[in-house]
């Protein structure tokens, strides 16, 4: 499995990682290692303003979308999907169902806030 993980990681990386590798160890146990950068950090989302959190989420979404866009073979995907609109319709159906679920989840969150089960910042 280490080889599979490393192959996928190489596809989605924007910059190559010279330390990325894998091996099969004793008892056929799989390992992989990586070191993208020596300098690491993390965002302190708890201290972000709502506007800053939105911007941060937008950047994370763009980075994730870019990584996934690099991982697919567009010709193979097009051949798999074919010329019909079945996939398009399936995607639209999923989006509508997810919108309904999202609205239900938001209503449940508002109810939990109103009941005092969850705290929320005013206007957030």
Q: Which domain holds residue 24?
A: 2-33
Over 80: is that where the pLDDT of 52 sits? yes
42 inside domain = no
Rg (CA), the chain: 21
74 inside domain = no
104 inside domain = yes
54 inside domain = no
pTM of the model as a whole: 0.45
Cα(82)–Cα(96) distance, rounded to whole angstroms?
A: 23
Average pLDDT, integer, range 41-46 = 84
52 inside domain = no
Strand partners, 30: 24
63-86 burial string, b = 16+ CB within 10 Å, else e? eeeeeeeeeeeeeeeeeeeeeeee
What lies within 8 Å, CB to CB, of 41 at 6+ separation is: none
Note the pLDDT tens digit of each residue in 67-112: 777 777 888 888 989 999 999 999 999 999 999 999 999 999 999 9
CB 33 within 8 A of CB 6: no
Cα(64)–Cα(36) distance, rounded to whole angstroms?
A: 16
Note the pLDDT tens digit of each residue in 10-40: 777 777 777 788 888 888 888 877 776 666 6
48 inside domain = no
Strand partners, 22: 32
Q: How many domains does the chain have?
A: 2
24 inside domain = yes
């Amino acid at each position: 499995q280490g080889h599979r993980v490393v192959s996928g990681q190489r596809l989605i990386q924007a910059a190559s990682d010279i330390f990325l590798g894998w091996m099969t160890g004793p008892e056929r146990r799989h390992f992989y290692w990586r070191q993208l950068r020596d300098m690491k950090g993390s965002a302190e989302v708890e201290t972000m303003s709502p506007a800053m959190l939105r911007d941060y989420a937008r950047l994370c979404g763009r980075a994730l979308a870019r990584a996934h866009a690099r991982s697919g073979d567009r010709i193979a995907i097009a051949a798999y999907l074919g010329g019909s609109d079945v996939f398009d319709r399936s995607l639209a159906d999923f989006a509508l169902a997810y919108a309904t679920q999202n609205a239900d989840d938001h209503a449940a969150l508002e109810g939990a806030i109103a009941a005092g089960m969850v705290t929320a910042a005013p206007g957030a």
